[in-house]
Amino acid sequence: MTIEELYDRIGGDLEGVRKRLPSDDLIARFIVRFADDESCAQAAAAWSEGDEASAFEAAHKAKGVCANLGLSKLWNIANDITEALRPGNSDVRATTDVDALVKQLASEHASTLDAIREFSASA
């Protein structure tokens, strides 16, 4: 699997990442290391434990990591969670199904990791 195929599969923004990172080899190294990032799992775990503050912090971190790597699908979900849980955003929180977003984050994260592992094995 090529880096282009990986980003197509995960719905990522490879061209955006290429503007920040100088080579596809460097992008590949960072995307493989994404498997070690626990922020998506931490957001889901904190939410399931009822810890909104920790869920916000973890989702915010996931949002940043996903933005840097061009993981657009994950970024969108993490962003929605972050904004719903951001202190002072009670109007957004009232109209957002955070449970559904957290499930979506976990599912998309798992799919993304599967694709990255397949990419890593084929490299």
List, for residues 36-87, the tens digit of each pLDDT value.
999 999 999 999 999 999 999 999 999 999 999 999 999 999 999 999 999 8
CA dist 118 and 123 (Å) reads 9
Percent of the chain with pLDDT over 70: 99
CA dist 7 and 14 (Å) reads 6
Domains for the chain: give ranges and CATH numbers: 3-122 (1.20.120.160)
Q: Is 37 helix (H, G, I), strand (E, B) or coil?
A: coil
CA dist 116 and 113 (Å) reads 5
Per-residue confidence at 88, pLDDT binned at 50, 70, 90? Answer: confident
